[in-house]
Structure 1
Amino acid sequence: MNSEQDINPYEAPSAHSPLPAAQSPSAFFQKPWVVQSAWFLAVAINLPMPLILGFDATADGVARLGMLIGIVMVYSVGVWICLHRAEVMWRLIVGSIFTALSQIWPIVHMIVGLVAMGISKLIFDANREREQIEAIPEVVLTTLLTGIGLILPSLVMGLIFLMLFRIRVFDQKPIALGAGVDTFQPPAETTT
């Protein structure tokens, strides 16, 4: 047989090099105390602007206790998620860096805070005319809604950043470096 007959014109072109594999996660990032410490830092660097805006929106005194309760609740839920779904938390932690940087020009923070205050006002006291929030439950709800409103874009930004740069910070079954597509092992599915 000659070489012209050995070539199949309908065969897919062959790749000369295997696809680049994503970096395997470090064991350091898989330790629970590391995830929880990173979550603490993420909360701490994202607090300045919400606290400044929150102090302006709440009445002096007891109402500000609601902010503390709301912050502790958001932080506690984050710690629980760190223990049970650390891969989600790493996406949130990475994305929270972008949210923290956006405090320089806090448009997102202002919009989220105003929406949270509007929802709280509708739920608790739609007829109030004063600007500042005085009731502790209303301040707690406003703080929780603001936290959720800032967590969602952080989670999306972290997901996009980790996908774009193919960074695998936390994975159950990492891809071995240099492994081709044939040896890919997807993460184990959890059934609950």
Structure 2
Amino acid sequence: MNTVQLVIEFLGTFAFAISGIRWAASKNFDWFGGYVVGLATAIGGGTIRDVMLGVTPFWMTNSIYLICTAVALLTVIVFKRLIVRFTNTWFLFDTLGLALFTVAGLQKTLYAGFPFWVAIIMGCITGAAGGVIRDVLINEVPLIFRKEIYAMACILGGVAYYLCLLCGLNVEITAIVGFSVVVIVRLAAVRMHISLPHLHDDENI
């Protein structure tokens, strides 16, 4: 179980770090700034989750996450020309990171003995909070508050994950189902331009 958790968190870290560094590059940040944004994107949600669960943040017990972010930075630097050409690829990295960290948050919360509704919230925080921190650092309105389906994908993935547990499926299949639901919902929402209704004040109605 711990091995599955570590693999998911490592892959999520790399995917989110790539996403954060890519956005930092679009704002012409220097290498250090890119690393900071990538690291904040990668570990931000998991850090908030661990603090709320009362455990030591995951990256403070293993330096591999800091190294992973450095590898992501090197990847962006070396293949910077491809970044411009393959914008959709970086959207995919963000989506994969969202799904991977959502599953990681769900698993860690359930293993800690919390009820499923707390696990779904922690999964959402793990997946989406890093993106919020990233957007704040690059001076953008956080994606989670805009038109795209983002946090709702995490919630639906969490519900699917818990339903799989109720059906008695093993952890590997459950993780794959939860991951797949987040990815499918996110990609379908963007492709089909699905979004939640917007709030309007009286002046704009």
- TM-score normalised by the chain length of structure 2: 0.28
Of the two structures, which has the highest relative contact order with CA contacts closer than 8 Å and spacing of 6 or more? 1
Whichever of the two has the greater Rg, that structure is: 1
- Structure with the higher helix share, 1 or 2: 2
